[in-house]
Amino acid sequence: MASASLLKTSPVINKTDFIKGQPLRQVSVVRCHPSPPSGITVRASSYADELVKTAKTIASPGRGILAMDESNATCGKRLDSIGLDNTEANRQAYRTLLVSAPGLGKYISGAILFEETLYQSTVDGKKIVDVLLGQNIVPGIKVDKGLVPLAGSNNESWCQGLDGLASRSAAYYQQGARFAKWRTVVSIPNGPSALAVKEAAWGLARYAAISQDNGLVPIVEPEILLDGEHNIDRTFEVAQKVWAEVFFYLAENNVMFEGILLKPSMVTPGAECKERATPAQVADYTLKLLHRRIPPAFLSGGQSEVEATLNLNAMNQSLNPWHVSFSYARALQNTCLKTWGGRPENVQAAQEALLTRASANSLAQLGKYTGEGESEEAKKGMFVKGYTY
C-alpha cells in the first residue's frame, strides 16, 4: 500500500549495508540512516548495536518475513476453513508444520509470532523459538492488544496496548523475541480523519520507542486498509499524509532510525475499485511513495499469493535505492493450509507448498520471479472486507 515520511532528508540505503547471515536482523527491510532533524536528540539505548544487527539479519538479500501472528480467534477461522476445531493442539500442529519446514530459513529471515506461539513447543516437544533459531530465522512478536473504536472519529479505530508494553517487551526479549509488530490501521472509506491519522502515528511512535528500550526492533507499519472503492491515486494521497505524520512522531519520540523496520503497504486501488492496477503500476506508485519519504520496507496486503509476488517482483526490477522485501501471512500460508487439511499424511506436501511460495517471493525480492507454473489456487484473491486479526 503506501509509505510517506515527513523527514526532509531521505537517506539512501546501500544494499551492501545488509549483511547476510548475521544473527538477528531487520524486519525485512527498511533500514533508515537519516540525520535527526535539527534540535532533536536521538536516544541510543543499551541495545543500540544489537538493534542494528537484528535489523540487518532480517533484511538479508533473498529473504523476507513469515507473518504467523494471527490471534487464536483468527487462527480458529483458518482452521475452521479446513474443518478443524480451534483447539490449542490443532494450533500447535499447524504452527509446527510451518516452522519445521526443511530449509525454510533459506527464504525466510524472520517470523512474527502470537504470544501463545512464542511460549509454545512443537508437537515433538521442541521450543518453537529454538526451532526458528535453528533455521537462522529471527523470532518476532506481535505486541499490540488489538483495535478498538476511536471516540470522536468517523467510526474509525485505534490500537491499544501501550499500557504495560515495557514489561511485556522485556519478557518477550527474555523469551527470545528480537523484533516486534504493532498493527494499527487507517481506513480510507471512513476518511481518514485527522484524529485517526494522528492517533495511529503517535501510537506507532510510542510503541517503537518502548520496543527499542527493551531490545526489540520495531516494525513500523501504519496499515492502510484495502477496503473501499477508491482508486490508486487516492491511496497514494492518503499514504503520503499518513507516513508524514508517522515520521514526525518517530522523531518526536527520539526513535533510533537505524534500528527500525518500515513496512508500508503496497499502493493499490481499493479492493472494490473497478479500475484495477497492473503490477507495473503498483510498483511505480509504491516506489514513488518511498522516494518521497524514507527507505525500504516489507510490503504486504491481502492480495492473492501470485499477485503479491508479482507486485514485489515488479518493484525490485525497477531501479531503487532500497532493500524492498516482504512480510506476508496469507500470501505465504493459504495454499499450505489447504494442502494440509489437518491430516498428518499431508504435512510434507503442505510444507512443500509453503516452501514454493517462500521461494517465489525470495526470487521476487531479487527481481527474478517469472510466475511460471503457478497453481490456480495461488492466483485466487484473499481480500476479506473488514478483516481483523
Question: How buried is 352 (Cβ within 10 angstroms: 0-12 exposed, 13-18 middle, 19+ buried)?
Answer: middle
Domains parsed from the chain with CATH numbers:
47-375 (3.20.20.70)
Strands annotated E in the chain: 64-68, 108-113, 138-142, 147-149, 157-159, 179-181, 184-186, 217-220, 222-224, 261-262, 298-299, 325-328
pLDDT of residue 262 exceeding 50: yes
How far apart CA 259 and CA 323 sit, in angstroms, is 15
CB 261 within 8 A of CB 28: yes
pLDDT at position 368, please? 83
| Gyration radius of the chain over CA positions | 19
Residue that is written with C-alpha cell 515520521 in the block: 247
Among 101-105, 175-179, 271-275, the range scoring the smallest mean pLDDT is: 271-275
pLDDT at position 340, please? 95
pLDDT at position 30, please? 42
Please identify which of the residues 181, 263, 305, 307 carries the catalytic annotation: 263
pLDDT at position 39, please? 46
pTM for the whole thing?
0.77
pLDDT at position 298, please? 43
C-alpha cell of residue 100: 519445521
Q: Are strands 147-149 and 157-159 parallel, antiparallel or unpaired?
A: antiparallel
Cα–Cα distances in angstroms (integers) from residue 115 to residues 171, 181, 217, 389, in the given order? 11, 12, 17, 13
Please identify which of the residues 221, 245, 258, 374 carries the catalytic annotation: 221
| Average model confidence (pLDDT) across the chain | 82
pLDDT at position 367, please? 80
pLDDT at position 303, please? 52
| Candidate ranges 23-27, 291-295, 323-327, 335-339; pick with highest mean pLDDT | 335-339
- What three-state secondary structure class fits 364? helix
- What three-state secondary structure class fits 299? strand
pLDDT at position 233, please? 95
| Greater pLDDT, 370 or 302 | 370
- pLDDT tens across 45-82, in order? 689 999 999 998 998 888 999 999 999 999 999 999 99
Cis-peptide, bond into residue 321, ω within 30° of zero? no
Q: Is 338 a catalytic residue?
A: no
Q: Is 56 a catalytic residue?
A: no
Q: At a CB cut-off of 8 Å and minimum separation 6, what does 74 contact?
A: 388, 389
- pLDDT tens across 277-305, in order? 998 898 889 888 887 876 444 444 445 66
pLDDT at position 315, please? 67
Instruction: Read off the pLDDT band of 5 (50, 70, 90).
Output: very low
- pLDDT tens across 344-368, in order? 999 999 999 999 989 888 888 778 8
pLDDT of residue 27 exceeding 90: no
Among 1-10, 88-97, 265-274, the range scoring the smallest mean pLDDT is: 1-10
Among 25-29, 200-204, 328-332, the range scoring the smallest mean pLDDT is: 25-29
